[in-house]
Each structure stands twice: as C-alpha cells, then as structure tokens.
Amino acid sequence: MSQNSIAKPALLSNKPKPLSQGKEALNVFCRNPSAVLGFILLSSIILISIFGPLIMGVDPFEIIGPPMEPPGSEFALLGTDYLGRDILTGLIYGGRATLLVGIVAAILSVVIGIFIGALAGYYGGTIDEILMRITEFFQVLPSLLFAMVLVTLFSPTIWIISVAIGIVSWTNTARLTRGEFIRLKRLDYVLAERVIGARSSRIIWKVILPNAIAPLIVSATLAIGTAILFEAGLSFLGLGDPNMMSWGLMIGNSRPYILIAWWAVTLPGIAIFLTVLAVSLIGDGLNDAFNPRLRERV
C-alpha cells in the first residue's frame, strides 16, 4: 500500500460529520424544557401573526369605539387606544411587522458579519487588520443613534428600518466568525483541501463555513431579539413606519397617554417581552445543543 493512500485518510480523520452532529444537537435541544417552551411560544406568536389577520379581516387603523376604553369593555376585549382603535387587532397585525423587522435585520447582520469575519479570519495579515478596524469603527458607534441617523436620512419605512438595524448590528457576528475561521483553518481537513489545490473560495464557503455554522446559528437567533428591541426603540422615538402597524409603533403612539390608558402601552410591551424571551430561550437551547461542553447539563 502506498504512502499517499495511508496519509490521505489520516489528514481527513479530524473532519466532523455535520449530519450526525445535527441529529445529536436536535435531540439535546428537544430535551431542554426551556428551549422547547421558547419554541412553542415563538411558534404560537408566528402562527397568530400570520393567520390572525386572515381570520379577523379588520383594519388595525380602523376606529371601532370611543378612545381609551379599558380592557373588557363592550367595544374591545383588550381596550382601545387614544384614537379608539382596537388593541387586540393591533397586537395581531403588529406581530407581522415586528417579526419581519427582526428576521430581515437579523439576516442582513449575519450575512455582513459572516462575509467580513470569514475574510478576516481566513486571510489574516493586512486584510484582517483593515476589516477589523472597520469592525471596531462600527462597534464603537452608538448603535441606536446610528440607526436613528440612517432612518432619518431616508423615509422611515419598514424596509429602511430593517436595513438600518442590520447595518449597525453585524459586528458581534463578524468577530465570532473570525474567531471560528482562525480556529478551523489550521485543522487537518482544511490543510488537506489546500494540498489538493482547492481554491480559497471553496475552502472558505464550502469547507470551513459549514463547520463553523453552529455558533453562527445561535448568533442569528439572538440577533432577531435584538432587532425587535431596536425597532421598538426607534418607534418609541417616533421613527417607526407610520403606515404599518407594529408593536413598537403602538407603544410609540400611545406613550403620552401611559398614565391614562396604561393598557395601550403595556400590552404591546408584553408582546415584545414574550417574543424576545422566546427567542432568547431558543438561542440558549441552541447554544447548549451545539456546544459539547454544555450538553452534560441538559
């Protein structure tokens, strides 16, 4: 038997098996009560936000009764806001916009972070220095203030808000990706790809990235919760999309009347809290599932 036939399996022996790791992670996730609770809670919120408007068929901006009616009144189950709009309808419709902002902003931040972190971690040297200085520049900027500037410069639509949040929140993902690439690029199966003449683009996106995806999934999950809080903050400051109902917009519009109609602010706030809590529980569950050092405690 030739020497090359012996060396090649040795070089590839350290390569992980993503399929088996994925099944094991899923089993660990399903044994985590908090993670399962978060998944059920978030799934319920998503289903209500998607199918609720189809069942109700009511305009969330429609005035259905006197303003600031308390919960349990004859006009609305959860009361009305300062204009007489139904709070329950606003909560159901607002979930669509809030979740859309969270998902779009999280996807954008993860894509930017992975792209910059992958190039910095793989190539190192001057490229790493330049990209990390750019990352540090965005990291030291006040995120909410920078997002406010971007939204103010353009029209405050739901898409502009999503893009603004994604642009200001990618730095943590970039640093995490960079660290994973620095760790993985020294392993034997990556060196084996270089030996056989694989291009850098293939090594980055098809060899290293699939094996670094576990912590990035956790980061993307937590980024959704961060984006939802960002949207609520922007809407609270009057920079939300006035043409699309969202939980943040409900809080922002009703904040002057918080002492008179507390339910118009509190109920959307509870919806945001439950959604972010569900996302955080799922993120913690994924972290435990993908991290072998934490699996023993589940």
Which residue do the tokens 């602010």 mark? 265
Domains of the chain, residue spans = 31-54+82-297
Read off the tokens for 9: 């399996």
For the chain, how many helices (H) and strands (E)? 14, 0
Say how far apart CA 130 and CA 126 lie, in whole Å.
Answer: 6
Q: How far apart are CA 261 and CA 275, in angstroms?
A: 23
CA distance 204 to 64: 56
Q: Which residues of the chain have pLDDT under 70?
A: 1-22, 291-298
Residue 239 has a pLDDT of 85
- CATH fold, domain 31-54+82-297, is MetI-like fold (1.10.3720)
Tokens of 12: 């590839």
Helix, strand, coil percent values for the chain (each to nearest 5): 75, 0, 25
Amino acid making up residue 229: L
CB 181 within 8 A of CB 125: no
Helices (H), 13-157: 18-30, 33-56, 87-123, 125-140, 143-153
| 51 alpha-carbon distance from chain centroid | 22
Q: How far apart are CA 167 and CA 116, in angstroms?
A: 13
Q: What is the pLDDT of residue 189?
A: 86
Q: What pLDDT score does 3 carry?
A: 45
Task: Dig out the tokens for 24 from the structure.
Answer: 């094991």
| Confidence at residue 13, expressed as pLDDT on a 0 to 100 scale | 43
Name the amino acid, one letter, at 218. Answer: V
